[in-house]
Structure 1
Amino acid sequence: MDVVVIETPQLGDRSYLVHDGSVALVIDPQRDIDRMETAAREAGVRITHVAETHLHNDYVTGGLVLAEKHSADYLVNGADEVSFARVPVTDGQVVHVGRLTVTVLATPGHTHTHLSYVVRDDRHDGGPEAVFSGGSLLYGSVGRTDLVSPQDTARLAHEQYSSVRRLVESAPPDAALYPTHGFGSFCSIGPASHQESSTIGEQAESNHALTDANEDHFVSQLLENITAYPAYYAHMSPLNAAGPDAAKLEVPDSVDPEELGRRLKAGEWVVDLRHRVAFADGHLQGSVSFEYGKGDNFTSYLGWVIPWNQPLTLLGPVVEVEKAIRDLARIGIDSPDAAVGPQPGALAPQLPQASYPHGDWAALLKGRVPEDVVLDVRRPEEYKASHVVGALNVPVYELPGRITELPDARIWVHCATGYRASVAASLLDRAGRDVVLINARFRDAIGAGIEKMP
């Protein structure tokens, strides 16, 4: 048995191609299925089965399209209400993929109908085994349990506690563990580790969900650690249940300057993909900054900040526009328009330009006056752990609806690394506010002489 890992760091997820050298099973494929097809082609195998661990909340699946394209069996929990043909599977069912034996396990917790798959290679006596745990057992933690409904969160947390124990009992300690979430995805919760691989035995000894002998204590701790998740999640599971179509990854023809100006004047979302400092130094008035390729935050925060199903225009070099279109397709944002070029100002020189200052913590110390506001746009739990004395906290994903709450003063905006602050600064600039971007790491504030609490 060979397992090919297909990473999507932009969303903190992994998909898997599992094969016996001839035929393959794909587990939890992302919507841009060409990556899975390339992996299968390079391995010299034919995709005969595609399986979902659950109806995903953080991305649009490519499972249906991949299965239909390759005439593969599409394995989906028979209890899931879906609008497409699938091979319904249920707890305890065994599926054969070449010489691989795939056992289906019900592991509710992340969702009510969550499944995991234990795969054994029958070539050897006993056979090497691998566990594909989706959003159940992760490296160091588990999948969050609050995505279905507030009323179900505690019950699902109890089920998660039981499910990870069932997984450990269903495979030997040396079985490799392959979760879908837990690599930066907001679908994980608790003290997730940063390891690249693990086994069932390692997790049994170190994962808090397995080492905590008190179920009620585990559940209470899990519920205390629940944090906000991207707004676009609300749309993912319904899209997946309806049966997503193929991703549209082509770069469109460039929008002409007149049309671009109309969109900006109308208040449409025009997203500049350039570096945050380049944006601050000069940009089309009314556009917003979502720097592409910096810390893999682009997809999650754009889908979190910009209202769902709004017209969207991307500005930037063709390579970055092409990558951004692929990333956005993964969360169901299809066919954005684009104005392609290295400098948005050169694309439409007749349109109004804008800029705002930027600096580090030293600039704040030197330039701040008593009337100025320091705005922390990190998540509430980050602010609670430590913050600049006197700073206001408005998470970047809440800022569009709360700008009018901020004092009428110059606003120095920061986050943990500068990325979210750059988004927030552009939103404030778009709203006509006097803003300064603190393009610095929060951890460097004390060294620069900034007073923090606690």
Structure 2
Amino acid sequence: MFFVDTIEVAGLGNRSYLAGGALTAVAVDPPRDIDRVIAAAARRGVRISQVAETHVHNDYVTGGLELARVTGADYLVPAGARVSFARVPVRDGDRTEIDAAGGLALRALATPGHTPHHTSYVLEEDGAAVAVFTGGALLIGTVGRPDLVEPRLTAHLARAQHASAHRLAAELPDETAVLPTHGFGSFCSSSRVAAGDGGDTTIGKEKANNEALTRDVDTFVADLLAGLDDVPAYYAHMGPANSAGPEPLDLTPPTVADADEIAARLAAGEWVVDLRNRVAFAEGHVAGSFNFEAEGQLATYLAWLIPWGRPLTLLAESAGQLFTAQRELARVGIDRPAAAATGDPSSWVRAGEAPVSFPRATFADLADRRRDGQVVVLDVRRDSERAGGFVEGSLHIPVHALHRRLAEVPGGQVWVHCAGGMRAAIAASLLDAAGRDVVAVDDAFDAAEKAGLTVRTVSAVGGGGPCR
């Protein structure tokens, strides 16, 4: 009998896997915090004999090299990947024994598209396919995006992605479990809606539902390219880090910062990030600090916005919250916070100073305020979300671009919203730190029209102008 354990990396919208038999196992696309994979192997009582990468990842720092070093496992990496470390180069059709007693083996299938060298791995039991680790080749209902390697290759890779999906569907039985790495909220997915569904799937289900398998190649490529959204800025640093070979993870506690040091770091232009929930932050925080909730997509949005390499100080309500955030940030290469503090704002401000605050509101409050007079309404959602509907008269600057475009926000009180409140809180903290009068709309966008606000779509006004 074989097993497959899923290791969720929810903050990044990814999954890693541990698969094996009675004695040995393979780890597929492991996260940087390899202790989770080692713990999973210990619970199963197996030795990790192989570590396999489907591709050189562009959205997180892999733990594969370090896991192979620590466990003594063979490190399987697609032969076409350009890397600077010793590994076992894997080519199409290569078969690797995982558990001899259980008849388990991995068979490599070249599935280019997400990257030129992308490789899927078929898990076989006594020669029969039982599962396939598809990385970014075949996701739930969609595929991985083809635009993360080189812009000039995007259209070519989109066609390769269609061909790879069809190869998997043609060569594997319908009951084969499909186990993707991306596609559970990851920006590596080409479709944020379809990819966020989660759950389990098979080759047969994907034949019926996957956009790559239900559309002809020209329609698929046209729709895929038209639907691509912005790429998180930190992705530019992930591929090079993984190609060079990441350093071992260091999760020792950062230096403790007192109120004077926090003030000094702010004065020096460093980033001070408050990890508490957005309600607590709005009620009181250190002036100049930014709010990225530890419970939200911390790594994605903080890594996307922060100037790469800028010193970072973390403020957390507890040591546990700080440690969890440090672990999550390390997955995307933000390794060592310059300093940190725990507690609450009363201990983070200097003697004689007080925390600052800003109000939170709903779309109903915004509708009432608009009836009283003009205010600036700032929409910080992505272009694709904006296209589905926006508050008439609102300004659109996606949250990941706001820190570079603050000067574009007109004077006056700014009411900032997103789809649910988390990104609005980030944006409100950026505006507040810049000295603006801001109100954070902490509400679901579905409530906007119900509150009496006029909601229009891009198609209704033509040309896509409001999305810019």
Task: Output the TM-score relative to the length of structure 2.
Answer: 0.93
CA-based RMSD: 1.3
> What's the CA shift for 1:127?
3.7
The number of equivalent residue pairs is: 448
1:259 to 255, 258, 261: 261
How much has 1:65 moved relative to structure 2?
Answer: 0.1
Task: Report if the CA contact (8 A) 1:61-1:240 is conserved.
Answer: yes
1:222 is matched with 224
Structure 1 residue 260: deviation in Å? 1.2
Deviation at 1:318, TM superposition (A): 1.2
Secondary structure at 2:195's aligned position in 1?
coil
Whole-angstrom distance in 2 between the partners of 1:210 and 1:100 = 29
Are 1:303 and 2:299 matched, yes or no? no
Task: Give 1:349 deviation, angstroms.
Answer: 4.0
Q: Distance in 2 between matches of 1:162 and 1:371?
A: 53
CA distance in structure 2 between the partners assigned to 1:150 and 1:82 by the alignment:
21
Q: Deviations over 1:167-194 (max 9, x none)?
A: 1122211111100011110001133361
Is residue 321–residue 338 contact of structure 1 (8 Å, CA) maintained in 2?
A: no
SS of the equivalent of 2:232 reads coil
The residue type paired with residue 96 of structure 2 is: V
Please list the CA deviations of residues 301-340 of structure 1 after superposition, one character each: whole Å capped at 9, or x if unmatched. Answer: 1111111111000001211111100000000001113433
Q: Identify the residue that residue 368 of structure 2 maps to in structure 1.
A: 366
SS in 1 for 2:12: coil
Give the counterpart letter for 1:267 in structure 2: G
Identity of aligned residues (%): 50
5 Å-filtered alignment, 1:127-276, equals 127=128, 129-190=130-191, 191-192=194-195, 194-212=197-215, 214-276=216-278
Q: Is 1:321 equivalent to 2:322 in the alignment?
A: yes
Q: Does the CA-based 8 Å contact 2:129-2:173 persist in structure 1?
A: no
Q: State yes or no: 1:444 paired with 2:414.
A: no
**Alignment of 1:112 onto 2:116:** yes
* C-alpha deviation, 1:195, in angstroms: 3.9
Does the 8 A contact of 1:28 with 1:180 survive in 2? Answer: yes
Note the C-alpha offset of 1:82.
Answer: 0.8
Unaligned runs of 5+ in 1: none
Counterparts of 2:96 and 2:236, CA distance in 1: 32
Number of the residue aligned with 1:81: 82
Aligned residue for 1:354, secondary structure, equals: coil
The 1:193–1:253 alpha-carbon spacing in structure 2 relative to 1, beyond 3 Å, is closer
Unaligned runs of 5+ in 2: 458-468
The one-character-per-residue Cα deviations of 1:119-146 (angstroms, maximum 9, x if unpaired) are 1112xxx545110000001110000001
Q: State the partner residue of 2:466.
A: none
Question: Aligned with 2:446: secondary structure?
Answer: helix
CA contact (8 A) 2:349 2:355 kept: no
1:376 is matched with which residue: 376, 379, 389?
379
CA-CA distance at 1:198 after TM superposition = 0.8
Deviations 1:57-113 (A, max 9, x none): 110000000000011000001221111110111111111112312111110000000
Q: What are the equivalent positions in structure 2 for 1:47-66 lying under 5 Å apart?
A: 47-66=48-67
Which residue does 1:92 correspond to in 2?
A: 93
Alpha-carbon distance, 1:216 to partner: 0.9
Corresponding residue SS for 2:164: helix
Any residues of structure 2 matched to 1:395-434 within 5 Å, and which?
Answer: 395-434=398-437
- 1:204–1:211 contact (8 Å) kept in structure 2: yes
The Cα offsets for residues 255-301 of structure 1, whole Å up to 9 and x where unpaired, read as: 122211101122210000111121111111110111111xx321111
Distance 2:90 2:48 in 1: 18
**Aligned-pair CA distance for 1:417:** 0.5
Separation in 2 of the partners of 1:241 and 1:421? 35
Q: TM-score, normalised by structure 1?
A: 0.96
How far apart are the structure 2 equivalents of 1:245 and 1:219?
37
Taking the aligned partners of 1:341 and 1:216, their CA distance within structure 2 comes to 54
Give the SS at the match of 1:327: helix
Distance 1:428 1:251 in 2: 30
- CA distance in 1: counterparts of 2:365 and 2:394, whole angstroms: 16
